Amino acid sequence: NAGVTQTPKFRILKIGQSMTLQCTQDMNHNYMYWYRQDPGMGLKLIYYSVGAGITDKGEVPNGYNVSRSTTEDFPLRLELAAPSQTSVYFCASSYKGQGTDTQYFGPGTRLTVL
Amino acid sequence: GENVEQHPSTLSVQEGDSAVIKCTYSDSASNYFPWYKQELGKRPQLIIDIRSNVGEKKDQRIAVTLNKTAKHFSLHITETQPEDSAVYFCARQAYNTDKLIFGTGTRLQVFP
């Protein structure tokens, strides 16, 4: 199993540009999450999904959109990028239903908005 | 509130000494408490977790203790080694939500 994979690893955007951060998991996990981590800070939840077709907002959803059309994929869309969105973005997944809530993280996407 | 308070924010220890990191919370519905280790430039990785029906859990040099009454839980690392140097995050999850709430992290440095 590859686990949770994310693309791209790095990206530089200009203010106002848009992009999609990709996240895929091959563990048949039903739950998926997007976090952002600003330098020297903790993890803040952007959006999450409890299954295909279902998404919900986290702590910091403004400026982002998500979709979950399949179990495996959970892309994060940035519209009209702003410098405040400069951060490292982590995708995570977990399986609910067997007494475990362990979240497995992807390697992250480092995004800079100039 | 929702937040998890984590202390200290930085911790320096000599190799072989013990390290303790403490987190406090207020939501009494919290029932799952994982700890993640994040090395520089890497992803967070689960190192140990505990559920509210257990008071202590050990895995080799790492242990987590939970005091439900006082609403705090702690990570204990014994016989620290330089490779333990990393940022450690605590987190909590309530039984009636699907979200982990993370602490602000503790930067642990182990000096040889």
Q: Give residue-wise pLDDT tens across range B1-58.
A: 678 999 999 999 999 999 999 999 999 999 999 999 999 999 999 999 999 888 999 9
Amino acid at B104: T
pLDDT band at A100 (very low <50, low <70, confident <90, very high): low
Using DSSP bridges, classify how beta strands A31-37 and A87-94 pair: parallel, antiparallel or unpaired: antiparallel
Q: Do B98 and A31 touch (CB under 8 A)?
A: yes
Cα distances (angstroms) measured from residue B9 to each of B22, B26, B86, B103: 10, 19, 12, 10
Confidence check: pLDDT of A21 > 80: yes
Nearest to B102 among A42, A107, A108 (CB): A42
Nearest to B43 among A50, A101, A108 (CB): A108
Q: Do A102 and B49 touch (CB under 8 A)?
A: yes
Q: Residues with Cβ < 8 Å from A88, sequence gap 6 or more?
A: A36, A37, A38, A108, A109, A110, A111
CB neighbours of residue A44 within 10 Å: 16
Q: Do B99 and A96 touch (CB under 8 A)?
A: no
Q: Scanning the structure block, which residue is given the tokens 């440095």?
A: B109
Predicted local distance difference test score (pLDDT) of residue A98: 58
